[in-house]
Amino acid sequence: MLIQGWGRFPRIDAEVLEPQTVSALTNTLASVPEVAQIARGAGRSYGDSALAGQVISSRYLDNFHSLDEEQGILRCGAGLTFEQLLEVCIPRGWFPPVVPGTKFVTIGGAIAADIHGKNHHRDGSFCDFVESFTLALANGELKQCSQSENAQLFRGVCGGMGLLGIVLDVTLRLNKVSSVFLKTQSIPTSNLNKTIAALEQHNDERFVVAWLDCLAQGESLGRGVVHVGDYDDSDRLTVHKRWGPGVPFSTPALLLNRHSMRLFNSLYYKLNSGSNSNESYEEFFFPLDSIRHWNRLYGRKGFLQYQFVLPDASAQEGISSVLQRVASAGKGSFLAVLKKFGAQNSNLLSFPTAGMTLTLDFKNETSLFPLLDELDAIVIDHGGRHYLAKDARLSESVFKAGYPQWQEFKSIKEQVDPDERFASLQSQRIGLTGGKGKHSS
């Protein structure tokens, strides 16, 4: 079966297993396939993190086990999506402390990528709220992991891209909320300095993120709109069901060209300037979820998302160089998002580190790859690193330069999976696992 990530590049012909129970899953592990295996949730990582010759889907491991309504402690299967979690938890006044930009990801995937949200600067990343989980190792053994039990393994699995084992059950701490509507403020900024200054200035607010017009050049390079939000006190705990339009098939990639992007970016800048408003959690956290299959807008060849973080000291200079390089190459991105991260946690491969993170996306075309290589060099020169959940092309040296703790991760890998059964196209490319020959396709 042909599978792909959300970016629809690359694709691989893989065997997809969908065990219905934990025991079926451990039985699966009892037979050793000739190809590499990797756990897969909703397939929402963008590149090749969840692609391998054999993928083990958490699709049917999506049961709720319990919800302690006094303490806000949720136990559930790793295949549960945020969408389902929210439907059950919101009416009871509980909300995940960290949510990604789409509600269609699974809890297992959120742990594998140690995802972050618009509140990272204040609250940290998703795994900071994971109390514990059960992990299936390559040999089928089940291990309970938390900050205190098998702590080293816990720090490896959180952000470890599924390479150490398969997360089965998760115990999660939720936040008490009295409303799931947010009062928001949009602040237009006229250049990169001002955008970064606005992000710094609002660093005490709960949710802060900036959209950048990445086609603006010269004086207005890095202009954008900073969105700030917090829960309001309207006592509305309603699950928002919004059925927007879908994209039924791949549209010709020509639709996304310099002119349409320039138009979109200018319009966005004008329409979002200086307004205060009230938005539902769906509109605020998951704006793109209302357009089902928006990834098809990039045409049959798909797209690549490019996200990196730079330390505060070099952020302005580095981001400015990246934006200039992108603008001069004329490869605009519909969505350019800038956000300030808070302190790094102790997980070995978690992406967020203190500084500024920028996300860009690009239509997949041959001429893109040399440009991204150039951007990699800028990022590494400025002491940054890339987000693996978005990546489909990073080189081994660039990865290792960005993640100095990779060796420590690898030594855990050698202990729990010495035969490297769990590997993805990504882990083989960036040198976290060897055995490139294991994948025939």
Partner 1 sequence: MNVLIIGSTSAIATATARLYAQRHCKLFLIARDASRLEAQAKDLSTRGAAAVGSHCLDLLDHEQHVVAIEAARDFLESIDIALICHGSLPEQEHVEQDFEAAREALDVNGLSVVSLLTGLSQLMKQQGNGTLAVVTSVAGDRGRQPNYVYGAAKAMVSTYLQGMRGKLLPHGVHVVDIRPGLVDSPMTAKLEKGALWSTPELVADKIVRAIDAKRHTVYAPSYWRVIMAIVCSIPEVIFKRLKF
Chain residues in the site for partner 1 (CB under 8 A): 1, 18, 20-21, 23, 60, 63-67, 87-88, 91
Taken as a whole, the chain contains a residue count of 441
For partner 1, give the closer residue by CB, 6 or 231.
6
Give min distance, CB of 29 to partner 1, in A.
18
Transcribe 404-430 into DSSP letters: TTHHHHHHHHHHH-TT--B--HHHHHT
Kindly tell me which of 65 and 300 has the beta carbon lying closer to partner 1. Answer: 65
Least distance in angstroms from the C-beta of 117 to partner 1: 24
Q: Which is nearer to partner 1, 91 or 140 (CB)?
A: 91
Q: Within 10 Å of residue 176's Cβ, how many Cβ atoms?
A: 10
Least distance CB 108 / partner 1 (angstroms): 16
Angstrom distance (rounded) from CA 67 to CA 73: 6
**By C-beta, is 63 or 193 nearer to partner 1?**
63
CB atoms within 10 A of CB 41: 28
Please list, in sequence order, all residues whose beta carbon lies within 8 angstroms of the beta carbon of residue 97, skipping any fewer than 6 positions away: 119, 123, 126, 128, 129, 173, 174, 175
3-state secondary structure 184-227: EEEEEECCHHHHHHHHHHCCCCCEEEEEECCCCCHHHCCCEEEE
What minimum distance in Å lies between the beta carbon of 96 and partner 1?
15
| Residue 429 CB, nearest approach to partner 1 (Å) | 28
Contact by Cβ (8 Å): 134, 24? no
Peptide linkage before 10 cis (omega within 30 of 0): yes
Instruction: Using the minimum distance from each CB to partner 1, give the nearer residue, 74 or 226.
Output: 74
Q: How far is the CB of 426 from partner 1 (least distance, A)?
A: 25
CB nearer to partner 1: give 3 or 329: 3
CB closer to partner 1, 257 vs 441: 441
Which class for 124: exposed (0-12), middle (13-18), buried (19 or more C-beta within 10 A)? buried
Q: How far apart are the first and last CA of the chain?
A: 12
Provide, rounded to whole angstroms, the least separation between the CB of residue 181 and partner 1: 21
For partner 1, the closer of residues 168 and 371 by Cβ is 168
Alpha-carbon dihedral sign for residues 369, 370, 371, 375: positive
Rounded-to-integer distance, Cα 372 and Cα 326, Å: 9
- Pick between residue 1 and residue 30 the one whose CB is nearest to partner 1: 1
Rounded CA separation 45/6 (Å): 6
Q: At what angle do helices 368-381 and 312-329 cross, to 10 degrees?
A: 160
Nearer to partner 1, 91 or 244 (CB): 91
| Smallest separation, CB 76 to partner 1 (Å) | 8
| Residue linked to tokens 């994948």 | 439
Which residues in 62-204 belong to E strands, given as ranges? 64-68, 73-77, 94-95, 130-136, 142-146, 166-173, 175-176, 181-189
CB of 298 to partner 1, least distance (A): 20
**DSSP run (H or E) holding 325:** helix 312-329
Closest approach of partner 1 to the CB of residue 64, in Å: 4
- Closest Cα partner for 227 from 340, 122, 76, 116? 340
C-alpha span between 161 and 137 (Å, rounded): 14
